[in-house]
Every structure is written in structure tokens, then in C-alpha cells.
Copies of this chain bind each other. A is one copy, B any other.
Amino acid sequence: MSRASEKAYDTIREMIISGELAPGDSLGEEALAELCQVSRTPVREALRRLEAEMLIHRTDTKRTYVADWSLDDIADVFELRAMLEGHAASRAAERIDDETLSDLRACNARIGAAVQSSPPDTERFLEGNRDFHALILETAASRRLTGLLGALIEQPVIWRTAHHYGMDELRRSHQEHEELLAAFARRDPAWAQSIMAGHIRRAFHAYADAHRGLVAIDGARRNRAKRAKKA
């Protein structure tokens, strides 16, 4: 997308992810346009994209609100991701060439380095993780699959939690990636699929474990926002 449109999308998205806009908040096009310093036209385009990604919700009367995510919704996303990324891993195992395999190895090596540095470099971990999964998805070579997963991986709740991973979680991820590489090296689709599905499901449980704590943090943040509004 082009400049203004992208700007609106990024701005609104960031505000939702950061919690500046809380679930249930009403989103008027004009107000958003002013916030983003663009006109309503690109705002509308941004809202359509965000709606497709289910970050926002539109009532039958065309009014838009920040979407509310229940734990069930989040479980849904992880379940679908496990299935689709598992499928991607399977297809990748059938199609991968030696060059891509070594790229993938290099990528996971970077992840390992980020994990072992002290303190662990979470940013670099996340960056490597994104690259790793993206490369597998690309190797799976299915435009539809890429499209469907795109709608799932761009999710705020996931990014909000990733920063709370502990050292052990990070190490475990790195280890699972190594297993995945072994499966790819053997060109074993079923194995790759199993590892990947497990990898995602484990991530979900890590999330769910941390959830109660996060809810508390979330509550505090929202209260803060509420107080700010009053003033």
C-alpha cells in the first residue's frame, strides 16, 4: 500500500496492539483520520485491512470497534496455526532444496545466539523466529496457504506475549527448530508436520500459562487509560 494508507494502517494497528485503544473502543473514521494525519479515504482502507485481520469488528450498522479477544478466540488462532503451519512444514519437507536448508540452519543459528547471549536478546529472537517461519512458508510454495496464515500470524495478542517468554521457552523453541531441521534434512513430511504442530501448541500453552498474569497487567493498563481519559 502507499504512503498515507500504510501510515494509517500502521498507526491504528500499533495503537490497538499497544492497548492505547482498548477492546470495545469505538473507532470513528474522522477521529482516526485526524490521529493519523491523513484523510478519511486511506483510513477506510486501513480499517478494511484491520477488519480482515479481525483486529477490529464492524457492527451490522457499519460502526467499528476494537475487537475483543476471549481466551477461546486465542485458542482458536493457535489451533488453526498449528494445523496450517504443520501443513506448511509438511509441504516444505517435500520441496526443500539444500540451499534453503542451509539458510534455515543459519537462521536458527542466529536464534541460538540471541538466546544464549546474556541477557537473552528477545528482539533478535523474535526477528529470527519470524524469518524462520516465513522461509518455511515460502518453501511450502502455496499462495493460498501463505494468504491464510498471513491473516493468523499478524495477531496482537501473540506479539504482546512473546516478550514475556522466559529463558527456558526461548531455548525450547530453538531446540524444536533444530528438530524441524532434522526432519527437513531427511525430507520427512510427517515428521516435520508433527514437530511444527507441537511447536505451535506448546507456544499456546506457554501463552495460556502466562495469561492470568497478563490479564492483571492488562487491567492495570486499562485503568491507567481510563484515568487519563477522565483528566
A binding-site residues for B, Cβ under 8 Å: 2, 41, 44-45, 48, 52, 54, 62, 73, 76-77, 80, 83-84, 87, 142-145, 147-148, 151-152
> Can you list 8 A-B pairs, Cβ within 8 angstroms, ordered by A?
A2-B62, A44-B45, A54-B143, A76-B145, A80-B87, A80-B144, A148-B151, A148-B152
Considering the chains assembled together, what is the distance between the CA atoms of A45 and B5 in angstroms? Answer: 13
Chain B residues with CB under 8 A of A84: 83
Q: Are A151 and B143 in contact (CB under 8 A)?
A: no
- Inter-chain contacts of A45 with B (CB < 8 A): 44, 48
Counting every copy of the chain, the complex holds: 2
Residues of B within 8 A of A73 (CB): 143-144
Choose among B54, B62, B142 the residue that contacts A144 (Cβ–Cβ < 8 A).
B54
Please, how many angstroms separate the alpha-carbon atoms of A77 and B152 in the complex? 17
Known: A76-B144, A76-B145, A144-B152. 5 other contacts (CB 8 A): A41-B41, A44-B45, A83-B83, A148-B148, A148-B152
In the complex, the chain B residue whose C-beta lies closest to that of A53 is B147
| CB nearest neighbor in B for A145 | B80
Residues of B close to A142: CB separation below 8 A:
76, 80
Q: A148 to chain B: which residues have CB within 8 Å?
A: 80, 148, 151-152
Residues of B within 8 A of A76 (CB): 142-145
A76 CA to B142 CA in the complex, in Å? Answer: 7
CB A45 to nearest CB in B, in angstroms, measures 7
Min CB gap A8→B, angstroms:
14
